[in-house]
Amino acid sequence: MFTKLQDKWGLSSRTFWIVFIAFGLTGTTTAFLTRYVTLWLGMDANSEWYYRLGVRLFMLLFGYQVILLTYGFLLGQWAFFWKYELKLLRKLKILPPAALKTPIAIFASGAGSNALKIMQYFEQHPTISVDLLICNKPGAAVIHHAEKQGVPVLLIEKDRFFRGDAYIPVLQQHRISFIVLAGFLWKIPASLIAAYPNKMLNIHPALLPKFGGKGMYGENVHQAVLDSGEKESGISIHLVNEHFDEGKVIFQSSCPIEPNETPHSLAQKVHQLEHAHYPRVIETFVIENSQPATN
């Protein structure tokens, strides 16, 4: 039962329990405060039933939500609870329904600096939203970023990804239209590529077609670029196909290599280019390749 709820909320185990505790504390505090407010208003068992009911309803419908947000904030889960409240207000028709946006998913396994930039860029975007973060590494920093941004997280397992349904039904459940890889190290199975034809992007920290392929990630790439005596490096954003880093390149940007460049300093320059360009390139790509709305 807990696992189902955890999946529905899209939280890691640790955050799930924090959220669970916040709900528990809210329930107890609301009950306590309701009693206190009733006494403070001078009500007792002899007061009119509708007065007592009114106070209870007020505390349940309004007080509970405020206390929930307060605990959420104090426990570092503001984003989750704020989104939760907005959803509730939409369900109760107090707020108008959210505008229909094109939902995208980010796949990332590591530090997640690109994933964070993408989530921040699309946070208030009028037509695109990041609706899911898929990660294959429990404890990866990117999970923390997603939770802070209130983006649901799905931790995936090797067996199901490569030998099962590749999580396609879950992506469909979230209505994901585009996938962007941002430091995701597993190869994408053919079934998933077929489910998202020309709808999946990757970013590579060098100027493809050079310095791509298996094993070309992290500082390996920058070391290889420096060893080959190149005068410049950069980033490539490309469509994903069944071969590592071989899909059609849709964007490149370069930076010069200085005489005493190290893999570390080059990585920093390349990261800056990635952060500056990837979100905007995704935006243009998604807008240009989205199906026009049909009536």
Per CB under 6 A, the segment of 12-20, 90-98, 99-107, 111-119 that binds ligand GRF is 111-119
User: Is 204 known to be catalytic?
Assistant: yes
Question: What would the x/- binding string for ligand GRF be over residues 268 to 287, using CB under 6 A?
Answer: ------x-------------
Q: What sign does the CA torsion over 203, 209, 213, 216 have?
A: negative
**Nearer CB in complex with ligand GRF: 25/111:** 111
Q: Which H/E stretch holds residue 264?
A: helix 263-289
Q: State in angstroms the smallest separation of the CB of 183 from ligand GRF.
A: 3
Q: State in angstroms the smallest separation of the CB of 275 from ligand GRF.
A: 8
Q: State in angstroms the smallest separation of the CB of 187 from ligand GRF.
A: 13
From the list 10, 63, 72, 112, which residue makes contact with ligand GRF (rule: CB under 6 A)? 112
Instruction: For residues 119 and 159, give the distance between their C-alpha atoms in angstroms, rounded to a whole number.
Output: 28
Buried-exposed string 157-177: b where 16+ CB fall within 10 A, e elsewhere: eeeebeeeebbbebbeebebb
* The one catalytic residue among 144, 145, 204, 271: 204
**Nearer CB in complex with ligand GRF: 54/139:** 139
- Is residue 249 near ligand GRF by the rule CB under 6 A? no
Per CB under 6 A, the segment of 43-51, 129-137, 201-209, 225-233 that binds ligand GRF is 201-209
Q: How many CB atoms lie within 10 A of CB 21?
A: 13
Per CB under 6 A, the segment of 12-20, 123-131, 157-165, 197-205 that binds ligand GRF is 197-205
**Nearer CB in complex with ligand GRF: 55/203:** 203
Q: What sign does the CA torsion over 220, 192, 119, 254 have?
A: positive
Q: Quick check: 119 and 130 in contact, CB under 8 A?
A: yes
From the list 150, 205, 212, 279, which residue makes contact with ligand GRF (rule: CB under 6 A)? 205
At 271, phi and psi to the nearest 5? -60, -40
State the residue number with the nearest CB to ligand GRF: 183
**Nearer CB in complex with ligand GRF: 127/268:** 268
Q: In Å, what is the CA distance from 14 to each residue of 22, 97, 143? A: 13, 31, 11
Q: What region, left, alpha or beta, does residue 175 occupy, with left being phi > 0 and alpha being psi -120 to 50 degrees? A: left
- Is residue 111 near ligand GRF by the rule CB under 6 A? yes
Q: Quick check: 90 and 97 in contact, CB under 8 A?
A: yes
- Is residue 233 near ligand GRF by the rule CB under 6 A? no
Instruction: For residues 144 and 108, give the distance between their C-alpha atoms in angstroms, rounded to a whole number.
Output: 12
**Nearer CB in complex with ligand GRF: 84/278:** 278
Query: Which residue in this structure is represented by tokens 């329990």?
Result: 17
**Nearer CB in complex with ligand GRF: 18/192:** 192
From the list 10, 63, 72, 110, which residue makes contact with ligand GRF (rule: CB under 6 A)? 110
DSSP 89-104: HHHTTSSPPPPP-EEE
Distance of CA 247 to the CA centre of its chain: 24
- Which 169-188 positions form the footprint of ligand GRF (CB under 6 A)? 182-183
Which residues are identified as catalytic? 204
> Using CB under 6 A as the criterion, which residues of the chain lie in contact with ligand GRF when the complex forms?
110-115, 182-183, 203-205, 274
